[in-house]
Structure 1
Amino acid sequence: MNQQQRHEAIVELVRREGYASIEQLTDHFSVTPQTIRRDLNALANDGLLRRVHGGAGLESSTVNTAYATRKTLNLEAKRRIAALLASKIPDRSSLFINIGTSNEVIAEALLERHRELEVITNNLNVAAILQHKEDFNVIIAGGQVRSRDGGIIGEATIDFINQFKVDYGIIGISGIDEDGSLLEFDYQEVRVAQAIIQNSRQVYLAADHSKFRRNPSVRQGNITQIHALFTDLRPPQSICQLMESHDVALHIAD
């Protein structure tokens, strides 16, 4: 069993049991306690588990990781994903970009080589990044500004999004369950994302490997509703089968 397989098995065991001690995992996988500690620290940094004294437990299903921490998590993977996704966006396209640190990295990638994009966003950080490109038309949705991450949410935001029909909707997600459910932490954020999906001709989802089997509690939709997934590692088999049966394209940034 290689490291990635062991990581997946640890996550599955903790999800099933709710908690696993270092001693239990050492015996189960026949590796040293030092190896298990490194595994648990890596999984906790990816947001897949919660590190506790002597072992690991489930991540909270109601509270997201702090924004400053999320900005640095899996940053290199996010940059690879962003470059690949940006390469699929033609010049002079119209697009939505919603809340999320992955989408902020995508905004940076779009600056490098694109021309004359029209971007509607409910993310103040995305707008701040894109404002430096003089030939971009950047439109900020109205609504309530969420102080912790610059996201814009609320009924006014949904009404604003519903006034547009764009070529591409670029969305992120906090978790993808084994049944393909797209999961988030904030109900209001979910409602805005659903409006983006409904008003986009093509929906592109950017999600690094840490989002698979992460378990927030609010359902945004299903992976079958998008047109393409951009990620850095092959998703679990159940998700791959679901995507294949619904003609959802898979793009892996290596």
Structure 2
Amino acid sequence: MGGEKNGNSDTSGGKHAAVRKRHDLITRMVREQGFMAIGALADHFDVTPQTVRRDINILCDQGRLARHHGGAGPVVSTENVGYTDRQVLYHEEKKRIAKLVVEHIPPRSSLFINMGTTNEEVAKELCKRDHLRVITNNLNVAKILSANQNIDILVAGGIVRHRDCGIVGESAIDFLRQFKVDYGIIGISGIDLDGTLLDFDYREVSAARSIINNSRKVFLVTDRSKFGRNAMVRLGSFSEIDCLFTDSPPPEEIMEHLRRHEVEMYCPDGAE
């Protein structure tokens, strides 16, 4: 399948898409089976063990898999990738997702924006717009939007998480519940193949629930690494989402849930 035993570079020319597809398939196989040995992956994809080791190193650096002796396993469901690492993972994809989201936000809209590095890219794009009112529990989003004096920003009070400047706690939730807005923009840590939306922090989920319950339309923004990813706290399901913005179509199992709940999906032009 992979045809890479001739020693050609994984990243040369037209092979980039094939390598990315192999990475997605490796990730899915490991998550489904719990552990995959290097030799088994090399045989399955018809590539060298050295190529598989390189693939696993890349996927582990991206937070999609965990290294084990002789192979790889799924990432644990209790701990997210570090914030600074998440900022650089899929950065270009997140920028494209953000541009697409903002195309669907009309002037003079009111918005919720919660935590997440993709949402911070959305905030950067929103800075190019005027006459918006944004309510957020993300200090990074507030800081980004403050560059535009024609955007009104309301910030929830509560406990500031040092690792990502998110604001959590009962006071933050009480603040968010006071509003009813046009659009709620939420990020996610994982989407199970059964359609469950997942996160790592129950306090963050509580704030996201308030956003979902008090938004006329809910936009879920996520890159493809979240498809099939484990996290232990249940946020909700696609029945509560109006639109999914992502960089690449999800696996068929997730697509079926999107169709069942009539969720509109948007990918940037040229997404594979």
Q: Aligned pair 1:227/2:242, yes or no?
A: yes
**Which range is displaced more, 7-16 or 18-27?**
7-16
Is residue 173 of structure 2 the alignment partner of residue 161 of structure 1?
A: no
Q: Tell me how far apart the structure 2 counterparts of residues 27 and 233 of structure 1 sit (CA, whole Å).
A: 27
Number of residue pairs aligned between Structure 1 and Structure 2: 253
Report the secondary structure of 1:71's partner residue. helix
Listed one character per residue, the Cα deviations across residues 201-236 of structure 1 (whole Å, up to 9, x for unaligned) are 000011001010010111000122110000010111
**Aligned residue number for residue 211 of structure 2:** 196
Of 71-80 and 52-61, deviating more is: 52-61
Secondary structure at the aligned position of 2:26 is classed as helix
* Structure 1 residue 19: Cα displacement: 2.0
Q: Does 2:85 correspond to 1:72? A: no
In the alignment, residue 50 of structure 1 is paired with which amino acid? A
* C-alpha distance in 2 between matches for 1:24 and 1:130: 48
Question: Pick from 77, 89, 111: which aligns with 2:127?
Answer: 111
Instruction: Report the alpha carbon displacement of residue 197 of structure 1 after superposing the two structures with TM.
Output: 0.2
- Quote how far apart the aligned CAs of 1:176 are: 0.6
Aligned residue for 2:107?
91
The residue identity in structure 2 corresponding to 1:98 is N
Which secondary structure state, in structure 1, belongs to the residue aligned with residue 106 of structure 2? coil
SS across alignment from 2:127: helix
- Mapping 1:9-88, distance limit 5 Å: 9-88=25-104
Asked if 1 retains the 8 angstrom alpha-carbon contact of 2:188 and 2:198, the reply is yes
What is the match of residue 144 of structure 1? 159
1:125 partnered with 2:155:
no
Unpaired stretches in structure 2, ≥5 consecutive residues: 2-17
Q: Which amino acid aligns with 1:214?
A: R
CA distance in 2, matches of 1:87, 1:15: 34
The one-letter amino acid of 2:28's match is E
Asked if structure 2 preserves the Cα contact closer than 8 Å seen for 1:81 and 1:232, the reply is yes
- What corresponds to 2:11 in structure 1? none
Give 1:117's aligned amino acid.
Answer: L
1:18 deviation in Å?
Answer: 2.2
Q: In 2, distance between residues paired with 1:93 and 1:222?
A: 25
Conservation of the 8 A alpha-carbon contact between 1:231 and 1:252: yes
% of aligned pairs identical? 53
Q: Which moved more, 1:242-251 or 1:102-111?
A: 242-251
Question: Pairwise CA RMSD of aligned residues?
Answer: 1.4
Alignment-derived partner of residue 4 in structure 2: none
Contact kept in structure 1, 2:238 and 2:261, CA below 8 Å: no
